[in-house]
Amino acid sequence: MTEDIIVVREAHALDEAEAMARRRYSDLPDVAVASDDFCVRTDGAEWANHIAPTLRCLAGYRDSGMGTWGVNGEIALIPDGCEDDRPSEATVMKASVFVSKVHQAYREAAYRQYRQQRQAYLADTGDIE
Query: What is the spatial distance between Cα 13 and Cα 2, in angstroms, rounded to a whole number?
Result: 26
Query: What is the spatial distance between Cα 66 and Cα 42, in angstroms, rounded to a whole number?
Result: 20
Please enumerate in sequence order all residues whose Cβ is within 8 A of that of 34, keeping only pairs 6 or more positions apart, or say none. 118, 121
Residue 1 lies in a domain: no
Range of the domain at 10: 6-125
Length of the chain, in residues: 129
3-state SS class at 39: coil
Number of domains in the chain: 1
Q: What pLDDT is attached to residue 85?
A: 61
Residue 121 lies in a domain: yes
Q: What pLDDT is attached to residue 36?
A: 77
Query: What is the spatial distance between Cα 15 and Cα 49, in angstroms, rounded to a whole number?
Result: 21
For the chain of 129 residues, list the mean pLDDT of each consecutive stretch of 10.
80 97 89 81 91 96 87 90 69 94 97 90 74
Residue 111 lies in a domain: yes
CB 62 within 8 A of CB 71: yes
Q: What pLDDT is attached to residue 109?
A: 97
